[in-house]
Structure 1
Amino acid sequence: MIASVTPREILIATIARLLDGVHHVAVGASSPIPAAGAMLLRALKARAGAEPVRISILGSVEHNFFTNGSTELFDCAGQGRIDAFFLGGGQIDGQANINLVGAGDYPRSSVRWPGSFGSAYLYFVVPRVILFREEHTPRVFVEKVDFISAPGVSRPGIHRTGGPYALLTGKGLFAFDRARPGFRLESVHPGHSLGEIVEATGFAFAHDAAPPTTALPDPAILALLRGPVLDDLQETYPDFAAQMRREIAAAADAA
């Protein structure tokens, strides 16, 4: 075990594993951890001499080949040229429905969020959608969302090429079974437990009696993450990159 690995480095390395096999990853404008995971995958492929991974980060100059923002993103996704995307939500339920509108009885929501934007469209056309929320609490992971911004599953006969692939949180990694449908806990992050995750999750999910621990990044992966990946991340997310460096330094001092 690598004593100085940080919780966010575990999330970033896990995202890189979830993205393995994709050719084009799109990332929203406020998603530094998913962006870092995509950059780590790209660095790993480059190191291995494998086919390069294309990353499109909205809001980035260096890591975005789009010239017309979200319009081109939606066109590209509809044409089947984006393999993976990330979605979050103020609420997420056990059917992988997400709520980006607000909490409470819509339209008189007691709490309002930014809105659905293109989430429903992308959820239907991107084949590998990874749901990501660092916060893992009952207020986020609810039995049933108050408003469905984007549905996790669709009725038979509805054309849908995309949908939920996995859910990654600050406590664990879940896979989504579209046939059941529902989540299954795949692994528990170091420092957390199955009981803690059950208590923090408002919906039921399948799990083993003793789920495995999420794999830690090895020293070679950490070297990539702390070097070229953080350097690349600096262009789009300078504050987050600086925060990551402080966390890494603090973890090393505490080791």
Structure 2
Amino acid sequence: MSASLEDLFGGQPPAEPDSAEGELRRALVVAAHPDDADFGAGGTAALLAGAGWEVRYLVVTDGSKGSDDPAFTPETLVAAREVEQREAARILGVGSVVFLGYTDGELVYSRELLGAVTREIRAFQPFAVYTHDPEPVIINNSFVNHNDHRISGLAAVDAVYPTARDRLNFPEQIADGLPTHKVRELFLWGANEPTLEVDISSVAETKLEALVAHVSQFGGREDFVEMVRERWREEDGRYLERFRRVGLFR
């Protein structure tokens, strides 16, 4: 199946990749922890994959702090969460998952982090990047935006523009054979003022199935699926993912 972004995003479609310009139907989702990509953009990822796009997840931290279960050590939790994330990605149709392996809960902005994200963008050459909105510390006056989310989102935004674009940024990557790259569309989830709604109703159950794959996070919670289903259902019965969209110049 090959659908246009107008088909997927309704009356406010982003730009379409221009094959004459060498642009590819690829989307990169940059997330702080295993499961963040599925929560933030899992439905959109499933829609894109179903429409013939190549979708990749880039997970920045190792998820080693995300459990109160004393049966887990940091090492066994990292291993479990990697398996869970790969399974969730498979369910959604995401083609590949890359793990950067930074320590969960201790992420700091650095040249090394920026370079790592830049390298993945240059290697994959995505038309669109989805990531955490790095701006809000408090989201909707309801909860704190995790530091790892803010730092991952900021590194992704900075890598998109201008770092991956400009050849004198991380020239060692160019020497390694990676080309520069201009991302055309940037979408930020967790925004206080989203500008784009994506109707994911047709894949809402697939997204829920992907979330349930994160057994270390939600296993044993019999109410989890129904709680999430009720929380996300709009008054008109639809399920939406909301983003702040940033259209980038060529």
**Smaller-chain TM-score range?**
0.3 to 0.5
The TM-score, its normalising length taken from structure 2, stands at 0.38
